[in-house]
Amino acid sequence: MNKLFTETGEFGRGSGNFASDKDKEIARLKRQLRDAEGAIEVLKKSIGILSK
């Protein structure tokens, strides 16, 4: 259960509520960048394993 809910009886608004479309796009791009960087790390590790 959400800590905020147990303390106040209300759920937090979460990160899905953006002030503008620009903020929403920035969040989407940051998420996409984070995912791409994660994929790059996995590929680097795979190359390291396969090159041994």
pLDDT in tens, 32-41: 999 999 999 9
List Cα–Cα distances, 1 to 4, 6, 8, 11, 15, in angstroms: 9, 7, 12, 10, 17
pLDDT at 10 exceeding the cut of 80: no
Helical H segments across the chain, by residue range: 3-8, 21-50
Q: What is the pLDDT of residue 18?
A: 80
**Residue 9 main-chain phi, psi, to 5 deg:** 80, 10
C-alpha–C-alpha distance, residues 7 and 50, integer Å: 50
